[in-house]
Amino acid sequence: MANNAHERVVVLDFGGQYAQLIARRVRDLGVYCEIKSYKTNPEELRDCKGILFTGGPNSVYAQDAPLCSKEVFELGIPVLGICYGAQVMAYLLGGTVSSSEVPEFGKTMTQFKSDSPLFQNVGESVCWMSHNDYISQLPEGFTASAWSAHCPAAAMENVERKLYATQFHPEVEHTQQGSEMFRNFLYNICGCAGDWEMKSFAQETIAAIRERVGDKKVLCGLSGGVDSSVLAAMLAKAIGKQLTCVFVNHGLLRKGEPEEVEEVFTKQFDVDFIHVHAEERYLELLRGVTDPEQKRRIIGTQFWKEFFAVAEDLAQDGRPVKYLAQGTIYPDIIESGARKTGGKASTIKSHHNLIPFPEGVHFDLIEPLDHFFKDEVRALGTALGLPDYIVHRQPFPGPGLAIRIIGDVDAEKLSILKNADAIVREELDAYNERLFAETGERNSEHAVWQYFAVLPDIKSVGVMGDERTYARPMILRAVESSDAMTADWARLPYDVLARISGRIVAEVPGVNRVVYDITSKPPATIEWE
């Protein structure tokens, strides 16, 4: 949502996975930021304080390589190019980009030019690299301002023209001093004052929704998760009884959650609430289906059918619905390679709330959270006055436990996974609460951000009660993260792991082994499927 009341910085998107991650780093520092296509006319950028270029999957020499207008560099506005964006800057201004003999991926020790405006108070440290190409010859007027073992121009700058570029990704948490680099760019180079905060976004968005909707009806797809809960709270404040929340119970939620969802949203919000019991329909549709993408599409398609049936009933009752509200957040969009990326990003997995409407069906969409990450949505929920037990609810995929069951889904497997997952959540909820009591921070250094159980499609031999067993293993997944774009496996204490394992094997029939996933994202995703 563009807001001319605030100073702004613009991110030009070249199709990189981290476009919105750059934007949120800017917002974290109190500066309003919006994302625009690399094709944006430079005249539309004249009133902004700074411009950032994203990374991208292309080579600058590729036939269809996304390239911005060279006029962007003539505006006199500071520019920071990142990864592919750095290569775009070099290429358009007369430098040379070449294939690396030794590509760099992951954490890389990097040195910095001490008097660079971009690297003030930044010393030798780890940066996150992800590139096959590199800038082999700098454009005229540029100097190298950072370097690594295999990248002689890990950063470059033309101070006079206020043009800066980094081959590494300062927006990724693994770049140890990335926030300081952004701070230097925004406040020292761009001259920003920092006049934006999440509370003002909430107020402005509520007003914008109220103005847009007028006296029309809105249907909100409610899962009970953080995103849809925050959305429902925002809509309730904006339009009250014009809102109908539809909770589709597909039977794939965690143990006890359907009951919690209904209790919370019938008591916390003064809105119409419809509980659709579709458990048996979903089990029948998923019978024999093993491919995770097919599961996602089946579940997503049925979601729409359930919504449309409710909308049709409301219309026949004299309450036609014009708008469909969804709690779509940016990681959903970027992982789907979806509509708002300009079609350049790769598809990692589909999300049920991003599957196109069937032919002949139309709602105007309301998606006020689609520029934000999970931790930002939590901050927004707090700003809206939601209680902590809603704001800090565990992230949960729309397709639910269906994608945490590897292979086909049936009632027996669902029961096994629900019971094991309940133990994981109980033990790690308690672990996080202990850390919160010690540190006063919800996302402290060793706090676990997401945690769950996964049921693989295999069995293994075990021994229980002096007898041979042939039963299922259970996979434990626990990660540390703040935005879901990158994540590291949680270094849980051995006693916590032992207690979880012991309880699952003892309390969940059909399980004789527990294993722990120690893979980061990337290369893995957080979810199993």
Q: Which helix (H) or strand (E) holds 9?
A: strand 8-13
Amino acid at 10: V
Give dist(CA 480, CA 501) in Å, integer: 20
Kind of pairing between the strands at 8-13 and 50-53:
parallel
The pLDDT of residue 169? 93
Q: Which domains does the chain have, with CATH numbers?
A: 8-189 (3.40.50.880), 198-391 (3.40.50.620), 404-516 (3.30.300.10)
- Full pLDDT tens readout for the chain, 529 residues: 444 567 999 999 998 878 878 988 998 899 988 888 899 999 999 999 999 999 988 889 888 899 999 999 999 999 999 999 999 999 999 999 988 777 788 888 999 998 999 999 999 999 988 888 889 999 999 999 999 988 899 999 999 999 999 999 999 888 999 999 999 999 999 999 988 887 777 888 899 899 999 999 999 988 777 888 899 989 999 998 899 999 999 999 999 888 888 887 788 777 889 999 999 999 999 999 999 999 999 998 898 888 888 888 888 888 888 898 988 886 665 544 444 444 444 333 334 444 455 565 578 889 888 877 777 888 888 888 888 777 877 778 878 899 999 999 999 999 999 999 999 999 999 999 998 888 887 766 678 989 999 999 999 999 988 889 999 999 999 999 876 778 899 999 999 999 999 999 999 999 999 999 999 998 998 988 8
Token match 């409710």: residue? Answer: 310
pTM for the model stands at 0.66
Q: What is d(CA 404, CA 91) in angstroms, rounded to the nearest whole number?
A: 45
φ, ψ of residue 255 to 5 degrees: the values are -55, 125
Residue 120: which of 138, 146, 141, 147 has the closest Cα? Answer: 146
Distance CA 235, CA 325 (A): 9
The set of catalytic residues is: 83, 169, 171
Within 10 A of 331 (CB to CB), how many other CB atoms are there? 21
The token pair at 467 is: 């007898």
Q: What is the structure's pLDDT at 356?
A: 56
How far apart (Å, rounded) are the C-alpha atoms in residues 345 and 15? 5
Is the separation of the CB atoms in 337 and 347 below 8 Å? yes
Tokens of 147: 């370097």
